[in-house]
Structure 1
Amino acid sequence: MLVLVLNSGSSSLKYQLMNPETAEVKATGLCERIGIDGRLVHEANEHKIKKDINMPTHKEAIEIVLDFLTNGEDKVIDSIDEIQAIGHRVVHGGEFFNQSVIVDDEVIAKLESLIPLAPLHNPANIMGMKIAQEIMPTKPNVAVFDTAFHQTMPASNYMYAVPYEDYKEHGVRKYGFHGTSHYYVSNEAKKMLNKEDSKVIVCHLGNGSSVCAVRDGKSIDTSMGLTPLEGLVMGTRSGDIDAGVLSYLMDKKGMTAEETVNYLNKKSGLLGVSGISSDLREIIEACENGDERAATTIDMKCNRIKKYICSYAGMLEGVDAICFTAGIGENADLIREKVCNGLEFMGVELDEDKNKVRNDENREINTNSSKTKIYVIPTNEEYVIANDTYKLVKA
């Protein structure tokens, strides 16, 4: 079965054509600057194409993707009829969805009701579904949710200490995100550990970052909350912060509520503290050149990760494996080193030579004597989406 995986953003469209039965990726790419001028990056048959193409709307972007998949010297299929289903990444499923579902009018209506919880993401996700239904009306569409994996959290972990009626009436609670990544990585860790009753901590570290405590394959707590703003220090997001800071800044800087949230989402984090960039690679380079603010920024990020690891180890009553994934987690050996150093009391012993190895394979980077395993596991969210789509459509 061939599944087209779509991740629709406000002005972008990530896609991948995959056979989930074999995990073979036939093509992958990104449409960006949709509605502005349009740019396509398309990879197929070991050939990468970058091309400026006018994309007034997401509909044109999807049509261009389908044209590249079926025509030209780099085509991978003869007709869109060979695509048997479309899988969509959906950021927020609220409490409605604890697993992936086939898209119908009722599903879309529920997702539209959740827009206030994810105003930047859900409208674009819904738009991608509606356009796919319009262009390929005979193909089933499946929604796969970032939040679904975390629906196993107990109330004591997902509740906020605010009046209970605000949870019941307005849905104020922790939902968590990066669920497809945490699910994939924790499952891979279970295989590597070769035990079902596992206690795993997954650190998904990219521009957006989160930590998840996984017991026996189920999420019991995660660092992101009602929105992706809570938790770790991220590229431009502040992560955990005293709520009193918000009213204080609004008073001192004359900011509205919307401006304050934008400040915490887009002007804070690594960018805000370092004053250099939201890209950790540039901050590490500055640190190596003696920039003290850059060094402080790196330490802040690592200390916050370590804080969550220790907290979740206590919640899990032990830990079998700590996993690092996503762009920073998979590639930044300095961050892994700083996070793991000092955790020897938990049986965590990092092998410095193994830690410096860089490849695309699942790998163990702890010493032979380490009681706790340390894994680097490249995430594969697209596979989770494609596989969930396959299982639902096949059923």
Structure 2
Amino acid sequence: MSTQPAHPHHDEGHVVLVVNAGSSSIKCSVYRVIDDPKVEGGMRAIHGAGGQIEGIGVAPRVVAHMADGKLIVDEHFPVAQVADHDAAFRLLRLVLAVGLRETPPAAIGHRVVHGGPHYADAVLIDDKVIDELNALTPLAPLHQPHNLAAIRAVREAAPDLPQVACFDTAFHATTGVLAQLFALPYSYFADGIRRYGFHGLSYEYISRHLHLVAPDIARGRVIVAHLGNGASLCAMKNGKSVETTMGLTALDGLPMGTRCGALDAGVVLWMMERGMDHDAIEKLLYHDSGLKGLSGVSSDMRELLANDSEQAKLAIDFYTYRIAQEIGKLAVGLGGIDGLVFTAGIGENSAPIRAKVVERLKPLFGMEIDAEANAANHDHVSTRESRVPVFAIRTDEEGMIALHTARLLREMLKS
């Protein structure tokens, strides 16, 4: 892989490698970003080769494909060969070199979960940025260390290649002070203890895409449900975030795959009184709660929907109840609702969950699911008679990272 920025012709755009590092996986995608005056921001990201390595340190597997979908590799590796994220990234970079041989990337864009109070936009990475992001690790312990590990691995392998950090918190910088406050002494807010919100790259993509498919609704009051292993809601007005369900950390709000969501702080005090230390409480709240904890079966919604146990049904009912409840709360903040969008793994693909949520909301907002469209995962899943239109839109967080990275790269080359 070349370590020097490419200088393609204007109409060819920039090739960007996007890295999305999770707790046990690293996903890499290649995008070509070209000029397109018809879309917001004047640029469009075209997906190319991609791959991921999953099961890091447990059961490593590498899958990679070319832009046309042709498989490059699908192979399992010994744990000792891919014991950590550094080794995983080096291996994945070698695999993707096949797809990048003719078009080396001009820059690498990274998803970084927490940007804290200082980063309301994507930023070129340097030593100062890394130090500041490392200081935020306690606020995103499941994600931040792995985001930074990928950044450090690239710096070691290709020190001259520009890297850009794109933040899940940045989209919510438009929320007002009432949406950010906790009812703690104000000095805590001044010190950065506030509600930041997450999944911002996903929400930014949905906002941008909705302007293309339903511009009148996009300019109104929209609630987006990002439902995956992590889950949150975002209330938007004219495409800008005004409120969200997550807070200081990605633990707050909706119940998730293994995370508890909103919790009475007194429960944590009770745990401490029972002798649980920080690590034990963190493990319980982040890894052993949510759908997994309630069901006693799995954190995977597909497995829960296929399971007939009462606990699995209870977990699903609680999940959809809390989603509907929080949508109602966000609608109050918006002063109404003009559209509802489901996205991410569960939101895009689980017709039963969408139907259960909308059924709970029907008495309040007059929403109605079109059973056939919903079962087929169409973009528009509500009936014509539904007072509020309901959508299921596939998100593209990596595409947004590519756009931000190309924008900063162009600014850097101009300076």
TM over 0.5: yes
Corresponding residue of 1:19: 32
In structure 2, distance between residues paired with 1:160 and 1:87 = 32
What is the CA-CA distance between 1:189 and the residue it aligns to? 2.1
What is the CA-CA distance between 1:328 and the residue it aligns to? 0.6
What is the CA-CA distance between 1:11 and the residue it aligns to? 4.7
In structure 1, distance between residues paired with 2:149 and 2:253 = 29
What is the CA-CA distance between 1:158 and the residue it aligns to? 0.9
- TM-score using structure 1 length: 0.91
1:260 has 2:288 as partner: no
Q: 1:186–1:200: 8 Å Cα contact kept in structure 2?
A: no
Note the 1:131-280 alignment, pairs <5 A.
131-169=153-191, 171-195=192-216, 197-252=219-274, 254-280=275-301
1:365 has 2:387 as partner: no
Q: 2:20–2:147: 8 Å Cα contact kept in structure 1?
A: yes
Q: 2:224–2:343: 8 Å Cα contact kept in structure 1?
A: yes
Q: 1:65 aligns with which of 80, 92, 109?
A: 92
Corresponding residue of 1:355: 374
In structure 1, distance between residues paired with 2:281 and 2:75 = 37
1:379 has 2:395 as partner: yes
Tell me the amino acid that sits aligned with residue 388 of structure 1. Answer: H
What is the CA-CA distance between 1:215 and the residue it aligns to? 0.9
- TM-score using structure 2 length: 0.87
In structure 2, distance between residues paired with 1:16 and 1:86 = 10
What secondary structure does 1:230 align onto?
Answer: coil
Corresponding residue of 1:3: 16
Corresponding residue of 2:8: none
In structure 1, distance between residues paired with 2:298 and 2:24 = 22
Tell me the amino acid that sits aligned with residue 334 of structure 1. Answer: P
In structure 1, distance between residues paired with 2:84 and 2:271 = 38
What secondary structure does 1:327 align onto?
Answer: helix
Corresponding residue of 1:93: 115
Q: 1:189–1:200: 8 Å Cα contact kept in structure 2?
A: no
What is the CA deviation profile of residues 165-214 of structure 1, one whole-angstrom value per residue up to 9, with x for unaligned ones?
22223x22111111100111122223322236321100000111000101
Q: Runs of 5+ in structure 1 lacking a partner?
A: none
Moved more, 36-45 or 374-383: 36-45
Q: 2:182–2:194: 8 Å Cα contact kept in structure 1?
A: yes
Change (3 A) 1:201 1:300: same
State the identity %. 40
In structure 1, distance between residues paired with 2:361 and 2:85 = 47
Change (3 A) 1:246 1:186: same
Q: CA RMSD in A?
A: 2.0
Corresponding residue of 2:53: 31
Q: Runs of 5+ in structure 2 lacking a partner?
A: 1-13, 35-43
Corresponding residue of 2:38: none
How many residues were matched structurally? 382
Tell me the amino acid that sits aligned with residue 299 of structure 1. Answer: D
What is the CA-CA distance between 1:66 and the residue it aligns to? 2.9
Q: 2:86–2:149: 8 Å Cα contact kept in structure 1?
A: no
Change (3 A) 1:197 1:46: closer
Q: 1:223–1:231: 8 Å Cα contact kept in structure 2?
A: yes
Change (3 A) 1:205 1:379: same
1:310 has 2:328 as partner: yes
Q: 2:16–2:402: 8 Å Cα contact kept in structure 1?
A: yes
Tell me the amino acid that sits aligned with residue 46 of structure 1. Answer: G
In structure 1, distance between residues paired with 2:137 and 2:310 = 41
What is the CA-CA distance between 1:159 and the residue it aligns to? 0.8
1:341 has 2:368 as partner: no
In structure 2, distance between residues paired with 1:28 and 1:225 = 32
Moved more, 97-106 or 341-350: 341-350
In structure 2, distance between residues paired with 1:69 and 1:102 = 23
Corresponding residue of 2:75: 51
Tell me the amino acid that sits aligned with residue 17 of structure 2. Answer: L
